[in-house]
Structure 1
Amino acid sequence: MVGIVVISHSRTLAEGAVELARALGVGKAVVEPAGGDADGGLGTSIDLVERAVAAADGGDGVLLLADLGSSVLTARMYIEDAEGTDTVLADAPLVEGAVAAASMAATGADLATVLAAAEQARDLRKT
């Protein structure tokens, strides 16, 4: 199954998005948070991303979702340095993308399909 990692400047935001994505992934999707800096404050941490990817990686690839700024840079840095993992960064809204990705991953879809689901979430209108 494709794993999903939510990268945010806020540990609380990442954990909340993961909680929702796991629930809407019907408990099947593997979704891990990588929020905040290594000391629990606001920021990003490549170490937290590495641990989250390792926990989420079931062998079918890992989709990264990042909130903004340095979270995106941290995700890109991880991908550049990653060896032996099929990891991609989605151009998607954090919460909506995580929910769409988890829902699709729960069906057993491949990484390209999970990525497409996450990225299509940016086009969902609320009005």
Structure 2
Amino acid sequence: MSAVGIVLISHSDKIAEGLYELLRQVEQNVAIELAGGTDEGGIGTSLDKILQAIEKADSGEGVLLFYDLGSAKMNAELAIELAGKDNAYLVEAPLIEGAYIGTVEAGIGKRLHDIIEGIQKQFTVINE
């Protein structure tokens, strides 16, 4: 079964690996790719790692990218542009919670835009 793919982007490879481990506990049939840390293994993000992860995660059903901090967002946006894919989306949600929801919903066969809509409903900012 093809499903929406997931890319985890973190400044730390250990954070990405830990989240991957958590997500694998609840879903084994969704492509989850990691782009943690720099190419040299340090703290930071790598455009090349993100591009490779997008390619590996894309089964044709779309790819959702989740990130931790600001420069990860900038590299993810650039990677989506360079990949030339119209089915890759950067998700504005907390890394752990967003990726968890995205993975579970992809695992039950939800379509790309339905998953995005569901995540957006979960993370609405309310000013009281």
Mark yes or no: TM-score above 0.5: yes
| 1:121–1:93 Cα change, 3 Å | farther
Give the Å deviation of 1:121: 4.2
For structure 2, the 5+ residue unaligned runs are none
| 1:93–1:40 Cα change, 3 Å | same
Given residue 19 of structure 1, which amino acid in structure 2 is its aligned partner?
Answer: E
Deviations 1:56-77 (A, max 9, x none): 1111010000111110111111
Look up the SS of the partner of 1:78 in the other structure.
helix
Aligned to 1:64: 65
Given residue 83 of structure 2, which amino acid in structure 1 is its aligned partner?
Answer: A
Deviations 1:26-78 (A, max 9, x none): x1121111000001110000110111111111110100001111101111111
CA RMSD of the aligned region, Å?
1.4
Aligned to 2:35: 34
Give the Å deviation of 1:108: 1.2
For structure 1, the 5+ residue unaligned runs are none
Given residue 53 of structure 2, which amino acid in structure 1 is its aligned partner?
Answer: A
Contact 1:92-1:120 at 8 Å conserved across structures: no
Q: TM-score, with normalisation over the residues of structure 1? A: 0.88
Deviations 1:67-93 (A, max 9, x none): 111101111111222224510000100
How many matched pairs?
122
Aligned to 1:50: 51
Runs of 4+ in 1 over 2 A off after TM superposition: 116-123
Is 1:99 aligned to 2:70, yes or no? Answer: no
| 1:20–1:120 Cα change, 3 Å | farther
Percent identical pairs in the alignment equals 41
